[in-house]
Amino acid sequence: MVVISQNPTMKIEKIRDDIDLPIINLLNKSEAMKEMVRACEEYGFFKVINHGMPQEIISQVEEEAAGFFAMPGPEKLRAGPPYGCKNIGLKGDVGEVEYLILQANSSPFLIQSDDSNKFSSAINAYVEAVRKLACELLDLLMEGLLGSTPNPTTSSMLSRLIKDRESDSILRFNHYPPVDVSTDSPKIGFGEHTDPQIITLLRSNGVKGLQISIEDGVWIPVNPRPESSFCVNVGDLLQVMTNGRFVSVKHRVAVQPFESRMSIAYFAAPPLHATVSCLPGVAAPPIYRSFSWGEYKQAAFMRRLGDTRVNLFERAIS
Ligand SMILES: O=C(O)CCC(=O)C(=O)O
Ligand SMILES: [Fe+2]
């Protein structure tokens, strides 16, 4: 069904729930590889099932995170700066969301207020497992992109950036309390944006709300099922590295009535000093100039959430 509506900023938009977004089964790697490349070209988005990530690790971190967000506000503030509410970024963007943002490189993480250390150890186990899955997906994507017998050094180029001790990857927990339909109009929990990093692996608690956009003003709701699946988003850096062949997907979250949504996003990023440019073996000439991830991140933080930023790095046509 296609629904035409007006969003809270009065922009006319179409919601299309007649599109089945790709669900990729990781059990058959050679098939998965091709389907992943197709999905990244068409949508910049897919879901993976049979990903091999232990359910216990997922359940544990989801349970601890749900417990964290259920605490009274002052208790949550004890977690310190990783905890935030409503403010998204440094440029005045706000959303109906509270969150925890943690650096997810190799050093173990400790939440200040986590006296029993249960949440922190669940997070550390999750980060290790989700990083492994991200690396596996990136190796498969590279193999699918570059052909059947790529040089192993090239096909592991992206995963090596993520495994680097200085990788700037991030883990973000988002919690969207339900909207009260008797008093409130529909609300956006997290406004439209693309993720700036290489790739995002996202879990949700099975409550819908995530939407992706493949053309301006057209939104596709993402079905949160199968509940065991991970959503995978192409980020800005992967668009640059594939010279625009993969698209960094625009997405947002609509707050739901009655149910609260919780999501856990792992943003796989290189070290700040790493150079980002078109990958060897990808059709040239490069659309974008080379830059460091630190430089890109700085540019992203100087802009509003919904602003496109990759175009700032396009090469001048002579
Ligand atoms: O909560 C979600 O489903 C998406 C959150 C998101 O897009 C983000 O944290 O960048
Ligand atoms: Fe995002």
Query: 123-158 burial by CB neighbour count: b if 16+ within 10 A, else e?
Result: bbbbbebbbebbbbbbbbbbbbbbeeebeeeebbbb
Q: Is 24 in the pocket of ligand 1 (CB under 6 A)?
A: no
DSSP, res 229? -
The 3-state DSSP class for residue 303 equals: coil
Catalytic residue among 131, 172, 252, 261: 261
Q: Which of 205, 300, 217 is nearest to 252 (CA)?
A: 217
The 3-state DSSP class for residue 105 equals: coil
- Residues β-bridged to residue 102: 171
What is the per-residue pLDDT for 318? Answer: 62
List, in order of start, the domains of the chain with CATH numbers: 14-314 (2.60.120.330)
Nearest atom in ligand 1 to 176's CA:
1
Burial label, 200 (beta-carbon count in 10 A; 0-12, 13-18, 19+): buried
Cβ atoms within 10 Å, residue 13:
16
261 catalytically annotated = yes
Alpha carbons 41 and 272: distance in angstroms, whole number: 26
Q: pTM score, two decimals?
A: 0.95
Q: How far away, in angstroms, is 56 Cα from ligand 2 center? A: 25
For the chain, residues with pLDDT lower than 70 are: 1-10, 106-108, 110, 148-150, 318
Closest residue by Cα to atom 3, ligand 1, is 210
DSSP, res 257? B
Q: Is 268 in the pocket of ligand 1 (CB under 6 A)?
A: no
Residue type, 198: I
Alpha carbons 198 and 196: distance in angstroms, whole number: 7
What is the per-residue pLDDT for 231? Answer: 98
What is the per-residue pLDDT for 90? Answer: 77
Q: Is 265 in the pocket of ligand 1 (CB under 6 A)?
A: yes
Angle between helices 29-42 and 118-146 (to 10 degrees): 90
Alpha carbons 222 and 292: distance in angstroms, whole number: 32
The secondary structure of 265-283 as a DSSP string is: EEEE--BTT-EE-PPTTS-
Contact 233, 43 (CB under 8 A): no
Q: What is the pLDDT of residues 147-193, one digit of tens each?
A: 866 677 888 999 999 999 999 999 999 999 998 877 777 788 999 99
Q: Is 231 in the pocket of ligand 1 (CB under 6 A)?
A: no
What is the per-residue pLDDT for 95? Answer: 84
Ligand nearest to the CA of 170: 1
What is the per-residue pLDDT for 154? Answer: 81
Q: How far away, in angstroms, is 112 Cα from ligand 2 center? A: 26
ipTM value, please give it. Answer: 0.99
What is the Cα 271 distance to its own chain's centre?
17
The token duo for 41 is 């070209």
Sign for the CA dihedral angle at 188, 192, 197, 202 comes to positive
Q: Is the peptide bond before 226 cis (omega within 30 degrees of 0)?
A: yes
Q: How far away, in angstroms, is 190 Cα from ligand 1 center? A: 7
Nearest atom in ligand 1 to 204's CA:
3
Cβ atoms within 10 Å, residue 192:
16
Name every residue whose Cβ is closer than 8 Å to that of residue 167 and which is 6 or more positions away in sequence. 104, 105, 106, 161, 268, 269, 270, 271
Nearest atom in ligand 1 to 200's CA:
10
Alpha carbons 225 and 47: distance in angstroms, whole number: 9
Q: How far away, in angstroms, is 307 Cα from ligand 2 center? A: 13
Q: How far away, in angstroms, is 161 Cα from ligand 2 center? A: 20
